[in-house]
A and B are shown apart, each in its own frame.
Chain A
Amino acid sequence: SYVLTQPPSVSVAPGQTARITCGGNNIGSKSVHWYQQKPGQAPVLVVYDDSDRPSGIPERFSGSNSGNTATLTISRVEAGDEADYYCQVWDSSSDHPYVFGTGTKVTVL
């Protein structure tokens, strides 16, 4: 089955930029979605189809996808951005087509 690998943690100071990677075999050929999950809460979609934002999501959240790596970028990081972030793709060739990444804990210093 398709595997998505994320770094376990990323630390960033307020006002700086956080970059969270999501690695997968030829992931650039797939649409990547990103979710934010705060403790005790349900996930929230923050970026979909590589780089689109749902309504209500700040422009500070952006995404890119090429080759074997997709990236979620959070600009001008705020304390409220501290959360777990998961990438997700749909793998049409798999019996388990909806695949989530391993998750990255973003800590705001």
Chain B
Amino acid sequence: KAGVTQTPRYLIKTRGQQVTLSCSPISGHRSVSWYQQTPGQGLQFLFEYFSETQRNKGNFPGRFSGRQFSNSRSEMNVSTLELGDSALYLCASSLDREFTGELFFGEGSRLTVL
């Protein structure tokens, strides 16, 4: 069974640009979440999607947005990039039939903002 796939794995952008990251969940998983990992802050929750609807949103500015498609694939977008947006962006999927807390993470997209 294929795992969670994130693309691109690495990217470099400059301040002011925008970026779109993609996530393909494990087949059959309908819940997709996004997390930002930075050295100082650990993993911080960005948002969660289920059946194309945003179910939860973390404490991030409106420059961070996301969406989920009917095939459960998800994208997140960051507009007007700032230096502080440099981070590893992790996508996670889950079955979401009963609560287990078990998320399956991708390898992440490493964003560097110059």
A interacts with B: no
Q: Which residues of A contact B (CB under 8 A)?
A: none
Q: Which residues of B contact A (CB under 8 A)?
A: none
